[in-house]
Amino acid sequence: MCGISGIVGFKNIAMPLLNSIRHLEYRGYDSCGVAIMSNNSIVVRKNIGSVDEVNEREKLSEPDGKIGIAHTRWATHGGVTKENTHPHLSCEGDFALVHNGIISNYSEIKKELIHGGHRFNSETDTEVIVHLIEKYFVLSKDAEKAFIRALKRLEGTYAIAMITTHEKDKIFCAKRESPLVIGLGDEINYLGSDFNAFIDYTKNAVVLDDDEYAVVSRDHYFIKKIISGEVIRKRITEINWDSDMAKKGGYPHYMLKEIYEQPQCIVNAMQVDKALIKKLSDMIMKSRHVYLIGAGTTYYVSLMSEYHFSSIAGVFTPAINSDEFKNLAYIDKDTLIIAVSQSGETYDTLNALKFAKGKGAKTAAIVNVMGSSIARLVDHTIMQGSGPEICVISTKAALSQMAILLLVALEMAVNNKRISVRNKNEIEKQISHLPELIQKVLNEKSGFIHTIANKFSHINNWLYLGRGKYYPIALESSLKMKEVAYVHAEGMPAGFLKHGTIALIDEKLYSVIFMPPRSDEELYRLTAGSAEEIKARKGFTLGFHFGEKGEGEKLFSEEIILPKAHSIIAPFLELVVAQLFAYFTAVALKRNIDKPRSLAKSVTVA
Ligand code: AGP
């Protein structure tokens, strides 16, 4: 949702602090700011706009100081204005604070503080925290005590970083639900919402857990429980990313880079420890109720896995939107929740897991970020190893998650004696061809997909139609088009079209049809039937198919032909084509590809 960072060292930290929010900008980019201790007072520079735009105007790295905090904002409370931008200052300017999360009881605290004479400059929930700390400091004259006392008043979620003129060499920070990690350097320490904040400088990190606070100086830190004050000792996490992985590597956008990283991601997915795959399979087989949960893209990954688990393993595991989970799922101690999450921080998914754990359910997750809240919460974690996914639009992480859960389906199928080990090995051999086939699509089809995207970039409304396991692919593909190109696309089961939506078909409404290979005979026939229904009503169809050149001419208005593929991996290839189609459409429409409007990489609010 937002990105927070901090640095405390023995020399000027202004430039690395600016870099830290450049690396966190994908988490929110409505506005940004820094607070730096300079000549014994706190200098705040902030404004609305991207980091580079604000830096242009405010010279964020100009103040000379050895300690500072910074923030990139995705607005939740209060509009996108300079006043609402973090950091926020206390009345006397002796405290500065940044925050990621939502303080649910901020209104009552604000009233109390205003009554006590505090003057507010913003509409944000965050500003009440810094004034509350100021209020308690006046009483205790002890910054740590005031910090803790304020934290105990807060309801809701937070990752907070604060500096004060009363303890000029310390950053105070605390965490509840929103992520926060400490980066450990040599005579310099860092703070960030995730590793990207400081990955250029250190790979040694300590991850805070809920309801813990830390006081960080340049050569020392301690972590305590907020309520009890108990000192917590933590293992140092070595980050397995390098900064090059997190940079664009010559691509125009992270989205394209990450689409092109997919062959390697599938290789990594196939190399996930088989014991982890087997353990998840065993957990599923031992549970009476099993749900797959995710949000947005990861809900569609869950839906794809619902089809794989059912058709391959004969195990029906409903996929439920994390935000709807509480309204829908039956949970008892014989229930297993499998969460899918790239960031491992999505509020709705985290909340669903906590709700299920509270009812005695077992939990598991497929995640991409080490040390993330979901990874630390569940009973069993599979790290998908896709590398940092910087673009707000998820591509490689989603494809990798689908592949890993497909391996779980195969494991269960053997367990259920629906296939032999030999069959499983044969299917896995087919899956092992996926990286080279994705590479073939990227090498041989990108140019044509780019041409098609340019040709139809003026179209404002699309239907995305698929049957069976191509239905979740249609849904995920339509989400790509919406979120990166801002073009409306509605994904639906192809068979659903004739039950009403077909009334929309005319020359203005275009459709993408996700065709299975002919080896999926019935699915092919039925999906072709849907294309015919549209054609009969003079609707335009763009067919993704595995046939010969021209084969689609009878069926589609335009066609994108994919290389021949086994039916088990065909849907993955069609998703890659759809990712590129959305990407090139967004390029044609000059969208902000890696940071689309109103989006954030990790949605850590309800
Ligand atoms: C991805 O393209 C979307 N921006 C979004 O739907 C995302 O998948 C969703 O917010 C879940 O995020 P997570 O995987 O980090 O939990």
Question: Please, which pLDDT band fits residue 246 given cuts at 50, 70 and 90?
Answer: low
For β-strands 380-383 and 488-493, DSSP reports them as: unpaired
Q: Which of 136, 83, 85, 126 is CA-nearest to residue 106?
A: 126
- Atom 16 in ligand 1: residue holding the nearest Cα: 341
Looking from the CA of residue 603, the nearest atom of ligand 1 is 10
- Taking alpha carbons only, the member of 99, 255, 183 closest to residue 605 is 99
Cα angle 576-512-548, degrees, rounded to a multiple of 5: 75
Ligand 1 centroid distance, CA of 508 (Å): 30
Q: Quick one: which atom of ligand 1 is closest to the CA of 395?
A: 2
- The answer to whether the CB of 298 is under 6 A from ligand 1 is yes
Decide whether any atom of ligand 1 lies within 6 Å of the 599 Cβ: yes
What is the Å distance from ligand 1's center to 603 Cα? Answer: 7
pLDDT tens for each residue of 511-550: 999 999 999 999 999 999 999 999 999 999 999 999 887 7
CB 604 within 8 A of CB 177: yes
What is the atom index within ligand 1 of the atom nearest the CA of 393?
2
Is pLDDT at 599 greater than 90 in this prediction?
A: no
Q: Which CATH superfamily is domain 3-250 in?
A: Aminohydrolase, N-terminal nucleophile (Ntn) domain (3.60.20.10)
- Which are the catalytic amino acids? 2, 601
Give residue-wise pLDDT tens across range 149-197.
Answer: 999 999 988 999 999 999 999 999 999 988 899 999 999 999 999 898 9
Residue 177: predicted pLDDT: 80
pLDDT value, residue 52: 92
Domain covering 259-432 assigned CATH 2.30.29.30 in the classification: no
Is the model's pLDDT at 604 over the cut of 90?
A: no
Range list for CATH 3.40.50.10490 in the chain: 259-432, 436-606
The pLDDT tens digits of the residues spanning 98-126 come to 999 889 899 999 999 999 999 999 999 99
Query: Band of the pLDDT at 41, cuts 50, 70, 90?
Result: very high
Spatial neighbors of 25 by CB under 8 A, at least 6 apart, are 3, 32, 50, 51, 72, 595
Residue 71: which of 164, 204, 163 has the closest Cα?
163
Any residues with CB less than 8 A from the CB of 36 and at least 6 apart, and which? 13, 14, 17, 42, 43, 45, 63, 64, 65, 67, 68
Q: What is the pLDDT of residue 529?
A: 95
Q: Please enumerate in sequence order all residues whose Cβ is within 8 A of that of 401, keeping only pairs 6 or more positions apart, or say none.
A: 298, 301, 340, 342, 366, 384
How does the average pLDDT of the chain come out, rounded? 94
| 349 touches ligand 1 (CB under 6 Å) | yes
Q: Whose CA is nearest to atom 8 of ligand 1?
A: 297
Q: Which of 74, 320, 338, 346 to mutate to test the pocket of ligand 1 (most atoms within 8 A of CB)?
A: 346
**Mean pLDDT throughout 348-377?**
95
Quote the pTM value.
0.79
pLDDT reported for residue 77: 72
CA-based nearest residue to 465, from 434, 439, 501, 425 = 501
Does residue 341's CB lie within 6 angstroms of at least one atom of ligand 1? yes
Tell me the average pLDDT across 42-57: 95
Distance in angstroms between the alpha carbons of the first and the last residue of the chain: 11
Average pLDDT over residues 443-467: 95
Question: What distance in angstroms lies between residue 296's CA and the mean position of ligand 1's atoms?
Answer: 5
- Cβ of residue 295 lying under 6 Å from some atom of ligand 1: yes
- pLDDT tens for 263-319 read 999 999 999 999 999 999 999 999 999 999 999 999 999 999 999 999 999 999 999
Quick: pLDDT tens for 414-427. Answer: 999 999 999 999 99
Give me the long-range contacts of 246-250 (CB less than 8 A, separation at least 24).
Answer: 246/23, 246/196, 246/199, 246/388, 246/390
Which is higher by pLDDT, 28 or 143? Answer: 143
Distance 299 CA to ligand 1 centre (A): 8
Q: Which two tokens stand for residue 480?
A: 């790509």
Q: pLDDT by residue (tens digit) across 456-490?
A: 999 999 999 999 999 999 999 999 999 999 999 99
Q: Is CATH 3.40.50.10490 what the domain over 436-606 is classified as, yes or no?
A: yes
343 lines ligand 1 (CB under 6 A): yes
Q: What is the pLDDT of residue 1?
A: 58
> Please, which pLDDT band fits residue 394 given cuts at 50, 70 and 90?
very high
Measured in angstroms, how far is the CA atom of residue 294 from the centroid of ligand 1?
A: 8
Distance 554 CA to ligand 1 centre (A): 37
What distances in angstroms separate CA 6 from CA 9, 35, 73, 196, 511, one per listed residue?
10, 9, 15, 12, 48
Residue 510: pLDDT band by 50, 70, 90 thresholds? very high
Where in the chain do CATH 3.60.20.10 domains reside?
A: 3-250
Give, using CA atoms, the residue closest to atom 6 of ligand 1: 296
**pLDDT tens digit sequence for 65-92:** 999 999 998 776 777 899 999 999 999 9
